[in-house]
Amino acid sequence: MMEKSIKQYSKLFKALSDETRLRIIVLLTERELCVCQIEEALSLSQVKVSRHLTVLRYSGLVENRQEGIWVYYSLAQPKNKIEEGLFESFRKYLYKEDYFANDLLKMKECVLRPLKTISKKD
């Protein structure tokens, strides 16, 4: 039983140990986002964003849904008190950090634009 918890927590913290994945998680604590909105807010390529979203999805931190050609990501329901506390801490404290505040500002600007003007998809 204890070994399962350790592996679960190790996978959680490994997923959060990357700068790009942490930036994505902070954005998703605010709202559900389309992949292209994440790309725009973080000024990253689709390939890089998708690779990191795959890691986050595998770790169980995010979930996705498809609507037409658009794929949207959101935070998954916390599976334990640690995830619950982490998400709450991200909302309370990381928003105040300049680095994340910048990302959040860019995200809030890009969600006001139609997806077709953000996306590279035809």
Establish if 120 belongs to a structural domain.
Answer: no
Amino acid in position 57: R
User: What mean pLDDT is predicted for residues 54-66?
Assistant: 95
Least confident of 52-61, 88-97, 102-111: 88-97
Look at 5 and 112; give whichever has higher pLDDT: 112
Domain that holds residue 62: 2-114
Judged against a pLDDT cut of 60, whether residue 81 lies above it is answered with: yes
Specify if 64 maps to a domain. Answer: yes
The token pair that represents 1 in the structure block: 């039983």
DSSP string over 40-107: HHHT--HHHHHHHHHHHHHTTSEEEEEETTEEEEEEPPPSSHHHHHHHHHHHHTGGGSHHHHHHHHHH
**CA dist 6 to 18, 35, 53, Å?**
19, 31, 23
Q: What pLDDT digit, counting tens, does each position of 1-17 carry?
A: 456 678 888 889 999 99
Whether the per-residue pLDDT at 122 is higher than 50: the answer is: no
Total count of residues recorded for the chain: 122
pLDDT average, residue stretch 96-103? 88
- Domains in the chain, number: 1
> Domain for residue 21, yes or no?
yes
pLDDT at 25 over 80: yes
Residue 45 belongs to a domain with what CATH number?
A: 1.10.10.10
Q: Is residue 14 part of a domain?
A: yes
